[in-house]
Structure 1
Amino acid sequence: MYERMAAAHIVPELLYTIWLVIYYILEAVVLSLIPNRMKARKDISDEVVLITGGGHGIGRSLAVRFARLRCRVIILDNNQEWLDEAQRIIASEGADVYAYLCDVSNRQNVYECARLIQNDVGEVSILVNNAGIVCSKYFMDLPDESITDVFRTNTFAHFWTLKAFLPSMMDRNHGHIITIASVVGKGAGCAASGYISSKFAAVGLHEALEMELRMLRRTGIHMTLVCPGLVSTGLFEGAEYKFPRLVPVLDADKLAEDVVDTVLRNGHLVITPFMAELGVRVKSLLPVKACNAVMDFAGATTMLNTFRGRQTTTTAIS
C-alpha cells in the first residue's frame, strides 16, 4: 500500500518535471534566436566589483569594462607594479578604483584584505574569481609543491573569497559571482594535469554553489561560469593550437567584453572560442576512443609541447 501511495505522488511529479524540461528547452531555443544586442540588460552602476588577479590580463580588461559601466572597482593582485599600472588605467575611465596587494592563495591574507575592503569601500556585490597560475609538466615530472601552489591559487582561493564576500550577498539576496575557469575545466588536455584538475575543481565548486543558492532560494544572486581557451595574456606563452585559424587565441579585451555582456544579461555560461565549445559538447556524446581520436587530430595532446609560460611568477589567468 505504501508503494502505491508513493507511486501516486511520483507520477504527477515526473509529469511536471517532463513538462518543465520541454518548456525550458523551447525557451532556450527561442532565446538563442534572439540577437544578444536585443536582449534586456541589468543596470550595475554603483555596484561594488571585486576582481582577483586584477592587475593584468583578463582581470584588468574586466576591471576597465566594469569601470565604464560606472561600477566601483576593487582589484587584488600579488604584483605591486601591475596593481599600480592597472589602478592608473582604470581611474582614467573616471571610476572609483581601489587596489590591494593580496596573495589570494593565502587564506588569512584574503580574510584580512576583506576586512579592509569592507571598512574602506563597503560590501562587495559582484565577485570575479579570476586569479590563476599554471605549471605545465607531465604528471610524473610535476613537483609536489607545484601541485599545491596551483590548487591554492586556482581553486582554494575561490573558497576564501566566497567565504569572505558571499554572506553579505546572501543577507541581501543580491549579487553576482563570476568564475573565470578554463575550457580544460570542462574537458581535459595534456601535460598540465595540476592546472587542469584545479580548473575542474573550480568548475565543480561553481556548479555546486549555484545549485546550493537555488535550493536556499537566494535567486537574487546570479552566477556566470567562464571557460575560455588560450588567451593572449602571456600565461600560456609558447602554447599553440594545431589549427590556429580554426581555433584562434583569444584577445583578453574581447573576452572581457563578452563576459561583461553575459553578466549584464544574467547569462550562466561562456565557453569560447566556438570550436572549443563544440569540442566540450561533442565530448559528452562520443565514445571514449572516438573522442580520443578527435582530440589527437585537433592537437589537444601536443599544444603545450612548445609551452614557455610567463618568465616571472605572477597571478594572472589563462
Structure 2
Amino acid sequence: MHLALEILVCLLQCVWLWLVAILKAVVPASLQPHKDVSGWVVLVTGSGSGLGRLMSLRFAALGCRLVLWDVNESWNQETEKLVQAASSGAKVKAYTVDLSDREQVYAVADKVKQEVGDVDILINNAGIVTGTMFLETPDSMNIKTMDINCNAHFWTVKSFLPAMLKKNRGHVVSIASAAGLFGVSGLSDYCASKFAAVGFDESLRAELVKKGKTGVKTTVVCPFYINTGMFEGAQTRFPAVLKFLDPPYVVDKIVEAVLTDQAMLCIPKSVYMFYFLRGILPISVNQTIGKLVGVSETMDNFVGRSKSQ
C-alpha cells in the first residue's frame, strides 16, 4: 500500500512538473520571474574573448562583481578594461590561468577567495577545438582538449561549490555544445569532452537534489556553431534549420537561462528536436538523417580561430 501511494504521488508530481515545463517553454523568458543577482560574484573562464567577454559585460551590467579567468593575459586585461568602461564603478579583477594545469587552477582559486570572496556564479566557458580527424590528432591535443573542456570543470567546481552549498545559494554554468549531444566527424576529442561536460552537469544536479540544496542551481548550454571564430571554416548544409549563431543572441539566451534557473539550454530550438529524434530512432536512421543534413561534412573546411582573434 505504501509503495502504491509513492507511485501515485510520483505520477502526480510528474504531471504537474510536465505542465510547468510546457508553460515555461511557451511563455517568453522575458516574462518569467528573474532572480536578482546584483552584488553577486561571477567568475567567467575564457573571459578574454568571444562568449566569455560578452557574458562578462552582460553580468557586469546587472550589477555583478566580475572575476575574469583566461590564459591570454593581454586579452583578459582588455576585457577588464571594457567592463570598467561599459559599467561605471564595476568591480572586476582579472587573473591569468592555464585551466589545463590543475594545481594552477587550485592556487588561483584560493587567491580569488582571499582577494575577492566567495564565487556565487561560476561560468565554465573556456574551451578549445582541434578540428582534425581522430587518427590525425596528436595525443597531446587529445589530453589538452579533455583538460580544458572537461577536467577543468572538476577543479573549478571543487574550488567554489563548497561556499555555495554552505549558503545554499549559487549557480554553476557549463558551456557545453550541441557536439556534447551528437557525435560529429572531425570532432572526436571535442565531442568526448563536451559529452563529459553534459554528463557532469547532470550528475552534479542530481547530487544537489540529493543534498536538498534547492538554492544552488546548474545550467548546461548546448549551442550549435557560434560566430566567434572558434569554428572558422566549418559549414552547414541547411542554414535555415541549423545556422551559425550570433554571439550576442547566444549570450542573451544564456543570461536569461541563468536568471530563470533553466537547467538545460539548447540553441537553436531545432537542436531539441534532433535530440528527441536521437533518442527514439535507430542509430542507422539517425545516421541517414545526419548524412542528409551534412553533419559529417561540417568540419571539412575547418580552419579555426586565428591568433589575432
TM-score range, shorter chain: over 0.9
CA distance in 2, matches of 1:187, 1:246: 16
Partner of 1:234: 229
Q: Deviations over 1:193-212 (max 9, x none)?
A: 00000000011111000000
1:90 aligns with 2:90: no
Of 251, 254, 257 in structure 1, the residue corresponding to residue 249 of structure 2 is 254
Partner of 1:66: 59
CA distance in 1, matches of 2:202, 2:5: 28
* Alignment-mate amino acid for residue 17 of structure 1: C
Partner of 1:125: 120
CA distance in 2, matches of 1:30, 1:53: 34
Where does 1:153-232 land on structure 2 (aligned, <5 Å)?
Answer: 153-232=148-227
Partner of 1:274: 269
1:48 aligns with 2:41: yes
Of 98, 106, 112 in structure 2, the residue corresponding to residue 103 of structure 1 is 98
* Alignment-mate amino acid for residue 9 of structure 1: H
* Alignment-mate amino acid for residue 136 of structure 1: G
Of 63, 69, 82 in structure 2, the residue corresponding to residue 76 of structure 1 is 69
1:9 aligns with 2:2: yes
Of 277, 296, 304 in structure 2, the residue corresponding to residue 309 of structure 1 is 304
Of 20, 24, 42 in structure 1, the residue corresponding to residue 17 of structure 2 is 24
Larger radius of gyration: 1
Q: Deviations over 1:206-263 (max 9, x none)?
A: 1000000110011110111100110111111100111223322111121111110111
* Alignment-mate amino acid for residue 111 of structure 1: Y
1:277 CA drift (Å): 2.6
Of 275, 283, 286 in structure 1, the residue corresponding to residue 278 of structure 2 is 283
TM-align CA RMSD: 1.4
3-state DSSP of counterpart to 2:296: coil
3-state DSSP of counterpart to 1:284: helix
CA distance in 2, matches of 1:313, 1:261: 30
The list of structure 1 runs, each at least 4 consecutive aligned residues, that deviate by more than 4 angstroms after superposition, is none
* Alignment-mate amino acid for residue 89 of structure 1: L
Q: Percent identity?
A: 36
Q: Deviations over 1:146-189 (max 9, x none)?
A: 11010000010000000111111111111011100001111211
* Alignment-mate amino acid for residue 84 of structure 2: A
* Alignment-mate amino acid for residue 223 of structure 2: P
May I ask how many residue pairs the two structures share in their alignment? Answer: 307
Of 118, 125, 137 in structure 1, the residue corresponding to residue 132 of structure 2 is 137
3-state DSSP of counterpart to 1:256: helix
CA distance in 2, matches of 1:17, 1:208: 21
Residue range with higher mean Cα deviation, 88-97 or 31-40: 31-40
- Are the aligned partners of 2:30 and 2:256 in contact in 1 as well (CA < 8 Å)? no
* Alignment-mate amino acid for residue 102 of structure 1: V
CA distance in 2, matches of 1:33, 1:234: 32
CA distance in 1, matches of 2:65, 2:143: 33
Partner of 1:114: 109
Q: Deviations over 1:248-296 (max 9, x none)?
A: 2111121111110111111111100122232112211212111111111
CA distance in 1, matches of 2:28, 2:181: 26
CA distance in 1, matches of 2:64, 2:177: 26
1:105 CA drift (Å): 1.4
Q: Which gives a bigger RCO, structure 1 or 2 (Cα 8 Å, sep 6+)?
A: 1
Residue range with higher mean Cα deviation, 9-18 or 260-269: 9-18
1:313 CA drift (Å): 10
Could you tell me which runs of 5 or more consecutive residues in structure 2 were left unpaired when the two chains were aligned.
Answer: none
Q: Deviations over 1:89-126 (max 9, x none)?
A: 11112211110000111111111111111111111000
CA distance in 2, matches of 1:229, 1:31: 22
